[in-house]
Structure 1
Amino acid sequence: MANKDLGFGKTKLDLSGFEPRPTAVEDEPPISADSIAEKAGFVSREPVERLSRVRKLAEPTDTAYIRAPISVINRLKIYCNENGLSYGQALEEMMRKAGI
């Protein structure tokens, strides 16, 4: 049973032209699985760290609804955007300037 011919015949296989593939060049960065996945369009499913907002207010807040002409509301919004203020901060600043 050990001498069975499996179809290869009795000739020897010539491997004289066989050479291993060249190794990666030292200057090239290694290819990571993440970069290959990104090129293929895959999106990471790793959880994103959720940051908590730092609040500067030390006292309780309340809500005041104001009905005003749209031109007045737009002026308020422009003022807040230009000065980087919230509506509450703008109200506080305007009241301080008015002496209230």
Structure 2
Amino acid sequence: MSYGFNKTDSGAVGTGTVKLPPVQRTEKPAADISRVLQAGQDLGFVSRDAGTRRKPGPKRKEPQDRLTVTGPKRIIDRLKAYCDANGGASYCEAIEALLDGTEK
């Protein structure tokens, strides 16, 4: 199928009314991949190669649920700071500790 473009005897491609000059393609040498990777690393690019897979986490001992919280940034920041101050506690551990403290 020509889709409206026809090759002429000279090799030029045209639509019948407009003649386009033939394209001369030149072979470019393949770049040395190690030089390219080194240049990228020097500029701070990080490899996107597949990393090692993590082992699956521990089996859950109780049913799980999900909670999405939207709130003022200052409060969310306080929760994050609380988690960091308590040995990197998870959000669930922090909420549970805060709830246990209020129930006493």
Shorter-chain TM-score range: 0.3 to 0.5
Relative to the length of structure 1, the TM-score reads 0.45
Provide the TM-score with structure 2 as the length reference: 0.43
* Larger radius of gyration between Structure 1 and Structure 2: 1
